[in-house]
Amino acid sequence: MIILASASPRRREILGRFFEIKVIPSNANEESNAERPEEKAMEIARKKALSIASSYPNETIVAADTIVVFENSIMGKPRDESEAREMLRMLSGRVHRVITGYCIIHRGKITEGYEVTEVKFRELDEELIDWYLKTGEWRDKAGAYGIQGYASVFVKWIKGDYYNVVGLPIKVVVELMKLGLKPKT
């Protein structure tokens, strides 16, 4: 059994395809003083994993944190529709990076890393942005979008792991297999 230290339905779906999992969301502090976005994502993932591991020392813990980076600035989750609109306008027609830091704790050993995927959006007109905002899908999403849903129409191309943009890179599944965990058949 693997414990997923996240309430994200997307992470639960990805990891649950391969392994039996139990979801125990972390309440870890998600603040970080790391300068590089990659370091920040890994630090937050580590905090999440460690916050759960202390209560479940004999279980395998998986935690992740996904951030969107545009022109060296981290785009968090929008506070409201107006902020979501501004984020989508900034991403329109441009390339941004999606970085997911991950941390696995297995038998007291920590394995951590990150994955980077580049995403290019099409040019978004106001009508398309208005339609998307009305879906409500932008809520609780870094960069104000979810690639696996309605926002798929925004994407011109991606370079890298699609599942990383969804919230959990497949690299994590491979790392778990390397640790000897057997996937479902």
Domain ranges of the chain: 2-178
Predicted confidence (pLDDT) per residue in 110-145, tens digit: 999 999 999 999 999 999 999 999 999 999 999 999
Please compute the mean of the pLDDT values over residues 38-42 and round it to a whole number. Answer: 96
Residue 31 confidence (pLDDT) above 90: no
Catalytic residue among 65, 80, 125, 140: 65
Q: What is the separation, in whole angstroms, between the first and last Cα of the chain?
A: 15
Arch. (CATH architecture) of 2-178: Alpha-Beta Complex (3.90)
pLDDT category of residue 99 using cuts at 50, 70 and 90: very high
* Mean pLDDT of all residues belonging to the chain: 96
- pLDDT attached to residue 185: 87
Percentage of the residues of the chain whose pLDDT score is greater than 90: 91
- pLDDT attached to residue 128: 97
Residue 91 confidence (pLDDT) above 90: yes
Which ranges of 29-180 does DSSP label H, i.e. alpha helix?
37-53, 81-91, 126-135, 162-166, 170-178
Residue 104 confidence (pLDDT) above 90: yes
Q: Is the distance from CB of 16 to CB of 167 less than 8 angstroms?
A: no
- pLDDT attached to residue 30: 87
Residue 1 confidence (pLDDT) above 90: no
Please say if 130 is a catalytic residue: no
- pLDDT attached to residue 149: 95
Residue 60 confidence (pLDDT) above 90: yes
Q: What is the pTM for the complete model shown?
A: 0.94
- Select from 94, 104, 98 the least CA-distant residue to 160: 98
In this structure, what token pair is assigned to residue 160? 């890298």
Mention every residue, 6+ apart, whose C-beta is less than 8 A from residue 103: 42, 45, 46, 48, 49, 50, 61, 62, 63, 64, 110, 111, 112
Please compute the mean of the pLDDT values over residues 6-12 and round it to a whole number. Answer: 94
- pLDDT attached to residue 44: 96
